[in-house]
Amino acid sequence: MDVRTRACGIRSILPVVAVLAASCASQTGGREPTTEGNACSRLQAVISEADAHFENIKRQRVPHRLGDRWEARGIFPDTTCEVWKWGGNEHYYCLWNETGEVAARQSFEEGKKAVRACLTNEWTLTEKQAKTGRVAVFSRENEDTRVALRYLADTRRYRPTWYTSLIVGNALRDPGELYHPAP
């Protein structure tokens, strides 16, 4: 996965707009002006596509040994966003590289606030410790679609690399156990 690194994480004067703002950096054309309203609209559009297997979000299919994946339009600035098909279930997945654990945790906390501001009161937040980092899952009663934010470390290297991720999907029961295809 092509993960774009950022030197300063998601730290801005307006974290809600910064976290849920522009399209993926790999998208062609210029960035749209960012407002809290259009950032929330993008998140809600991704959520509404879960039942349709993200068909209107998928772009070019990219072969991968772990399963099917498609490039996808993002809702976060400077991230890599894709739709992954794992075990018959499809998930919208964004991942961004942080400069360390503190930056990943800060991005995670700001992301929770931004997502909460975009969702209705029907959505509840459940948060727990994951193998590395933490995971926050927004869900609705009697609905399958979940929105999960997580900060995590890829510990396969000498020094762990920290990431923050967003996953939207219908079969997202325990995103703490979900495989994160970090590079």
Return the higher-pLDDT residue of 98 and 25.
98
User: Token pair of 39, please?
Assistant: 């950032």
Phi, psi of 81 (to 5 degrees): -125, 140
Q: Where exactly are the structural domains of the chain?
A: 36-170
pLDDT computed for residue 5 by the predictor = 33
From residue 78, give the alpha-carbon distance in Å to each of 14, 65, 136, 139: 16, 25, 21, 26
Residue-wise pLDDT tens digits, 169-180: 987 665 555 545
pLDDT computed for residue 32 by the predictor = 47
User: Token pair of 70, please?
Assistant: 């498609």
pTM: 0.75
Sign of CA dihedral 60, 112, 163, 172: negative
Residue-wise pLDDT tens digits, 108-155: 999 999 899 999 999 999 999 888 889 999 999 998 899 999 998 888
